[in-house]
Amino acid sequence: METTFVLVHSPSVGPSTWAPVAESLERRGFAAVVPDLTGVAAGDPPHWQRVVAAVREATPGTSVVLVAHSNAGLFLPLIKEGLGDKVVACVFADAHLPPRAGLIKAAEETFLPFLRGLAGPDGVLPRWTDWWDEEDVVAILPDPAMRVRVAGEQPRLPLGFYTQPIPVPAGWDDVRCSFLWFGPPYDGVAEQVAGRGWPVTRVPGLHLHQLIDPEGVTDALLKLSRKS
């Protein structure tokens, strides 16, 4: 059966962050889809239900390799549960690592004061690229056209998106799981993953490196998703 790579972007950004890798996979003969999660925070919580629904709607009836970037990693167990036995592998790409079971939030407690300081009176945050100094954004997204494209599709998320509890169903990691590591600050996650016995591959770069080196990232995804 054909396998489809389902490339899940962080809800803080948009689907163009995975588009070059999807194109690279397709050039090599692999099917790839990038679900659009930019509307998942519209309406009342829990927002995770709309994350799962958006991915399910975009996913064909093939076997699936799930690839999650950044804080999309926290939703991967629920997405896997929503897709059922179609999922044959999960790859965390410079992504947050959920526990084996329980509850988790999209932001650590130590990061919440920073987010609260950014939120407006309506409790809505600026776009993700507006959280950081311009020079930091330019370093991550050096191409001006790419920077405009990524910035333009970002949603403005409510603070509650980062404080809502996200369930983590037990047994989600019963398929091949692996970690694609770009660089800091995910060093600690790479160590945790190695402690779980998962394969780890590093493609050195910054947090949106899949936009900078889509071919190298595609090589790594193909390697990590294989059983041998």
pTM of the model: 0.96
Contact 21, 214 (CB under 8 A): yes
φ/ψ (deg, to 5) at 50: -75, -30
Please state the rounded mean pLDDT for residues 83-109: 96
Specify the 3-state DSSP secondary structure of 46: coil
pLDDT band at 227 (very low <50, low <70, confident <90, very high): low
Q: What is the pLDDT of residue 228?
A: 44
pLDDT, tens digit, 9 for 90 and up, residues 152-192: 999 999 999 999 999 999 999 999 999 999 999 999 999 99
pLDDT band at 43 (very low <50, low <70, confident <90, very high): confident
Is the per-residue pLDDT at 1 higher than 60? no
pLDDT, tens digit, 9 for 90 and up, residues 114-147: 999 999 999 999 999 999 999 999 999 999 999 9
